[in-house]
Amino acid sequence: MRVVVAGGGVAGLYFTSQLLRLVPNASVYLVDPKPVHEFAIGIPIAIAGLVDFHNLLYPFERLKRITYVKATAAAVENRCIRTREGPPRLCGDYVVLARGLKLGSVEYWTVRGAEEL
């Protein structure tokens, strides 16, 4: 099974970890424009001096059993994600959109084709 996950935030990483726990032989491609996951919830702890800020960043390339693709998901087409940069299309048996949220935004469908999933 090949799964393409757009978004390396909490939802994308949680989904990926659970998928690999339940389906150990799945091929997972994680698409995100940033090369690191940012543990934003830890910022108050870093401000308090209990951890260093650099400990709040985790590079996607260190994740085991996941192929990281540095790109931005631009559209969903027939079980494929079209990207703005990087490989033009990433296709899988399943496509998961976990791109996070934008506070104050009313643009619910920012990835063309997502509303049809």
Is the distance from CB of 33 to CB of 70 less than 8 angstroms? yes
pLDDT of residue 79: 94
Which structural domain, as residue segments, surrounds residue 74?
A: 2-116
Q: Report d(CA 84, CA 74) in Å as an integer.
A: 6
pLDDT single digits (tens) 37-51: 888 888 899 899 999
Question: Counting Cβ atoms within 10 Å, is residue 58 exposed (0-12), middle (13-18) or buried (19+)?
Answer: middle
Predicted model pTM? 0.79
- The confidence band for 65, taking pLDDT boundaries of 50, 70 and 90, is very high
| pLDDT digit string, tens, across residues 10-34 | 999 999 999 999 999 999 999 999 9
**Across the chain, what does the average pLDDT equal?**
88
Q: What is the pLDDT of residue 109?
A: 55
Where residue 114 falls among pLDDT bands split at 50, 70, 90?
low
Between residues 53 and 104, the one the model is more confident about: 53
- Average pLDDT over every residue of 53-70: 92
Looking at the structure of the chain, the number of domains it has is 1
Q: What is the CATH number of the domain that holds 88?
A: 3.50.50.60
Contact 24, 48 (CB under 8 A): no
Report residue 104's pLDDT band, with 50, 70 and 90 as the boundaries: low
